[in-house]
Amino acid sequence: MSGGVSRTERQLNLVSALLKARDGLAWPQIEVIAGYNDGLTKRSLQKRFERDLKELQGIGLLVTSELIGEGTRRYAIDRGRCLLPPLNLTPQQRILLFRVGISYLEEGGAGPLTDHLARALLKLQAGSGINALPDELPPAIVRRSLYRRPAEARHLDAIGLALLERRRICFGYEGHRREQSRRQVAPYALVARRGGWYLIAYDPERKAERTFKLSRIRGQVEFARGSKAGEFDVPDGFDSERSFSSEAFGAGMGTCKNVRVRFDADVAFIVENEFGGTYQIEPAPNGAVVLNLPQAYPSELLRYLGEFAGHWEILAPADLREQFIHRLRASLRSAP
Partner 1 sequence: MSQVGKLVSLASFLATHPRITVEEAARATHRTARELIADMKTLLMVGVHPYSPSDFIGYAPMTAGMNSAITIHFADHFKRPLNFTPQEALALKYALGHFALAADAPTRRQVDALSGALAEMLHGRAAQELSSLGRGFVVSRPTERMRGLLSQLALAGEQRKIVEIEYYSAHRGEMSTRRVHPYRVVESGTHFYLFAFCELAAATRHFRVDRIRKATVTQSAFVSNPPKVPKSGRMTSTLSGKTVEYLTVMFTKEVASDVQDEWQGVPEAAISTARGGRVVLRLPLYNDPWAVGFAMGFGGHAEIVKPLRVREMLKRTQENALRAHGG
Let me know: does 62 contact 81? Beta carbons within 8 Å: yes
- To partner 1, the closest distance from the beta carbon of 336 in angstroms equals 9
Nearest residue to 216 (alpha-carbon basis) of 181, 257, 174, 247: 174
- To partner 1, the closest distance from the beta carbon of 23 in angstroms equals 13
Between 206 and 218, CB nearer to partner 1: 218
Between 81 and 257, CB nearer to partner 1: 81
Nearest residue to 173 (alpha-carbon basis) of 199, 143, 142: 199
**DSSP string for 166-219:** T--EEEEEE-TT--EEEEEEEEEEEEEETTEEEEEEEETTTTEEEEEEGGGEEE
- To partner 1, the closest distance from the beta carbon of 32 in angstroms equals 4
- To partner 1, the closest distance from the beta carbon of 73 in angstroms equals 18
Between 70 and 123, CB nearer to partner 1: 123
Between 43 and 177, CB nearer to partner 1: 177
Let me know: does 156 contact 214? Beta carbons within 8 Å: yes
Between 206 and 269, CB nearer to partner 1: 269
Contacts of 320 (CB under 8 A, 6+ apart): 256, 259, 298, 314
Distance between terminal CA atoms of the chain?
Answer: 69
Let me know: does 144 contact 109? Beta carbons within 8 Å: yes
- To partner 1, the closest distance from the beta carbon of 225 in angstroms equals 20
Between 119 and 182, CB nearer to partner 1: 119
- To partner 1, the closest distance from the beta carbon of 326 in angstroms equals 8
